[in-house]
Amino acid sequence: MKTAEEIYNESPTTWLAAHEDLGSLLADEDYWVENGFWDTRDESLEPVTCFLSAFFIISNPDHERYDEQFSRLECDFEAVTIHSDTCHAGHLEPEGEAGRVVLLPVEIDTEKLKSIIPDIVFDIHQLK
């Protein structure tokens, strides 16, 4: 089986909306405005400074609590998903798993993130 770090490092641009690295994504004002994440009139919400944690997550999209736990992450912790797609880490064959980059406006570590989405996560790679 492949780890989240291995999957992410195979093609970071796949998971970062065609950006070479997380820093360039966070600095791309056009991306944030075009995708409805940022209103340029409110400088206090600038993506470069408001996201304190970033992760690449491999999860089980077939789990009965998948939608519930990601909704909780997005609603209760104000997480933003940059890109979600199928990846093949070896946990679910042949369908594959869900891979996604998640940004949070709070500093948390992988253990805290696992406690928020315990039933659906296979592996996590911390990017920031």
pLDDT tens figures, 66-115: 999 999 999 999 899 887 899 999 999 888 999 999 999 899 999 999 99
106 within 8 A of 50, measured Cβ to Cβ: no
Locus of tokens 């994440």: 37
Joined tokens for residue 30: 């056009």
* pLDDT of the residue at 96: 92
- What are the φ and ψ backbone dihedral angles of 86, each rounded to 5 degrees? -75, 140
Full domain range(s) for residue 19: 4-126
pTM of the predicted model as reported, rounded to 2 decimal places: 0.89
Residue 14 CB coordination number (10 Å): 15
Buried residues in 44-65 as b, exposed as e (16+ CB within 10 A): eeebeebbebbbbbbbbbeeee
pLDDT attached to residue 36: 76
CB-based contacts of 65, cutoff 8 Å, min separation 6: 119, 120
pLDDT in tens, 40-61: 666 655 665 678 899 999 999 9
What is the reported pLDDT for 39? 64
pLDDT at 30: 85
Total domains, the chain? 1
Quickly count: other Cβ atoms within 10 Å of residue 12's Cβ.
17
